[in-house]
């Protein structure tokens, strides 16, 4: 590939033909079309991740719905079982917030003979993010698609994840570079499915429907939908207020229309934001809060509602029968 950020990428029709390709040692190969062959990294990643049992993407077409917050607390909830090994991968290249949420700001990645070593927040919870590679949390990552693509490839191929039960992948909003890269590189290793995050209002649901169609198009199984910020529970009086009214029926109606499982609703709680800012697990800080209970219900299926399924149950079902797209 061309060394500058204007490289069109090997899969582009302009590969080897654009001005950015002038002087690149691979220009003739790209122009001939030979570079469009399957990336050998796909097989390398498949072999690298044979020790990872379940791979789950956290997606949403909408920004600001709480994907990173959910990814972090889902990882904490799964890691509460000491017999399980959990890994959290942040592929939000331009806006990595996982280091802050997990209390790992200032940590650095170390390299060993078997690859990059992830940063451990607990004995059984490993984390990797581009945030660990930046000199400052305020550094801006100003990259085009091919460079993002290369970074995600390195995360999957070069990180020494070890034996892992659940790999949770936190993604940026949308359906573009990072999403296509993670799907491409995990095509050999296999993706159990995606958890879709939304908030109750229609302006969010519109973009989330696009994300679900993206999953259908690239054949990612949809594990289920989470309605985040689903009402506000006052910590003092315990009354619930609808901050984001579900004017079109919210996630419940959308799931019924699209025949998808509703994994649960997580209420808005200001203590979640405070815990994230302080880099602490909300689940251990306020374990009896409605939001913490909702997280546990999502993972363990403690809900009495028949239309709701647990992430663990649905994930295992998808692994066996590959349903939902």
Residue 206 clears pLDDT 70, i.e. is over it: yes
Was 62 annotated as part of a binding site?
yes
Is 237 labelled a binding residue? yes
> For position 32, what pLDDT does the model report?
74
Specify the 3-state DSSP secondary structure of 194: strand
Q: Would the annotation count 7 as a binding residue?
A: yes
Given this model, what pLDDT does residue 47 score?
95
260 pLDDT exceeds 90? Answer: yes
Look up residue 256 and give its two tokens: 């019924």
Burial class (CB in 10 A: 0-12, 13-18, 19+), 217: exposed
Asked whether residue 315 is marked as a ligand-binding residue, the answer is no
**Higher pLDDT pick, 257 / 5:** 257
**Pure H helices in 135-246:** 145-158, 177-185, 202-218
**Of the listed ranges 124-138, 167-181, 227-241, the one predicted with least confidence:** 227-241
List, in sequence order, every residue forming a beta bridge with 224; answer none if it has no partner.
195
**pLDDT of residue 276 exceeding 50:** yes
For 34-44, write each residue's pLDDT tens digit.
656 678 899 99
Beta strand segments in the chain, E = 52-59, 86-90, 110-112, 115-117, 119-122, 125-129, 164-170, 193-198, 222-233, 240-241, 262-268
Going by C-beta distance under 8 Å and a sequence separation of 6 or more, which residues neighbour residue 198? 60, 62, 65, 204, 205, 208, 225, 226, 227, 228, 251, 254
Question: Is 66 a known ligand-binding residue?
Answer: yes
d(CA 182, CA 99): 20
Indicate the helix (H) or strand (E) that contains 46: helix 41-48
Residue 67, marked binder: yes
pLDDT attached to residue 309: 54
**What CA–CA distances, in Å, run from 206 to 20, 26, 192?**
37, 42, 24
Rounded CA separation 278/272 (Å): 10
276 is in an annotated binding site: no
CB atoms within 10 A of CB 112: 8
Q: In the 8-state DSSP scheme, what is residue 134?
A: S
With a cut of 80, say whether residue 3 has pLDDT above it. Answer: no
Task: Please state the φ and ψ torsions of residue 291, each to the nearest 5 degrees.
Answer: -70, -40
State pTM to two decimals: 0.83
User: Which residue did the predictor score with more confidence, 113 or 36?
Assistant: 113
Question: pLDDT tens, 224-234?
Answer: 999 999 988 77
The yes-or-no verdict on residue 317 having pLDDT over 60 is: no
Per-residue model confidence (pLDDT) at position 146: 86
- Check the annotation: does 68 bind a ligand: yes
Phi-psi region of 155 (alpha: psi -120 to 50; beta: other; left: phi over 0): alpha
Cα-based angle 198, 199, 202 (whole degrees, multiple of 5): 100
Any idea which of 20-24, 103-107, 251-255 has the lowest mean pLDDT? 20-24
CA–chain centroid gap for 2, Å, is: 29
pLDDT of residue 2: 41
The whole-number average pLDDT for the span 102-129 is 92
Q: Is 323 annotated as a binding-site member?
A: no
| CA 6 – CA 315 distance, rounded (Å) | 39
Angle at which helices 41-48 and 145-158 cross, to 10°: 40
| Mean pLDDT across the chain | 86
Return the structure tokens found at 175. 């359906």
The reply to whether 53 sits in an annotated binding site is no
Residue 231 annotated in ligand binding: no
Report how far residue 78's alpha carbon sits from residue 49's, in angstroms, rounded to the nearest whole number: 19
Give yes or no for residue 300 having a pLDDT over 50: yes
Sketch out the chain's domains with CATH numbers: 44-320 (3.40.50.300)
């Amino acid at each position: 590939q061309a060394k500058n950020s204007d490289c069109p990428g090997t899969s582009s029709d302009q590969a080897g033909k654009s001005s950015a390709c002038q002087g690149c040692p691979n220009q003739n190969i790209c122009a001939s079309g030979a570079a469009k062959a399957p990336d050998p990294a796909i097989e390398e990643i498949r072999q690298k991740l044979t020790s990872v049992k379940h791979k789950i993407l956290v997606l949403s077409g909408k920004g600001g719905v709480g994907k990173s917050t959910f990814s972090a607390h889902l990882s904490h909830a799964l890691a509460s079982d000491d017999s399980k090994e959990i890994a959290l991968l942040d592929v939000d290249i331009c806006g990595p917030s996982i280091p802050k949420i997990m209390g790992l700001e200032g940590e650095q990645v170390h390299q060993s003979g078997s690859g990059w070593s992830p940063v451990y927040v607990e004995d059984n919870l490993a984390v990797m993010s581009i945030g660990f590679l930046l000199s400052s949390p305020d550094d801006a990552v100003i990259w085009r698609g091919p460079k993002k693509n290369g970074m995600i490839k390195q995360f999957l191929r070069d990180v020494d994840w070890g034996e892992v039960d659940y790999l949770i992948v936190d993604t940026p909003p949308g359906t573009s570079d990072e999403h296509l890269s993670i799907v491409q590189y995990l095509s050999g290793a296999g993706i159990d499915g995606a958890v879709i995050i939304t908030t109750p209002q229609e302006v969010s649901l519109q973009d989330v429907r696009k994300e679900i169609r993206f999953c259908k198009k690239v054949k990612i199984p949809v594990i289920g939908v989470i309605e985040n910020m689903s009402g506000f529970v006052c910590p003092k009086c315990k009354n619930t207020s609808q901050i984001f009214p579900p004017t079109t029926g919210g996630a419940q109606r959308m799931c019924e229309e699209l025949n998808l499982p509703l994994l649960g609703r997580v209420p808005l709680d200001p203590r979640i934001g405070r815990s994230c800012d302080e880099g602490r697990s909300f689940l251990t800080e306020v374990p009896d809060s409605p939001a913490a209970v909702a997280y546990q219900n999502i993972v363990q299926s403690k809900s009495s509602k028949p239309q709701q399924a647990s992430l663990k149950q649905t994930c295992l079902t998808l692994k066996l029968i590959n349903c939902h797209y």
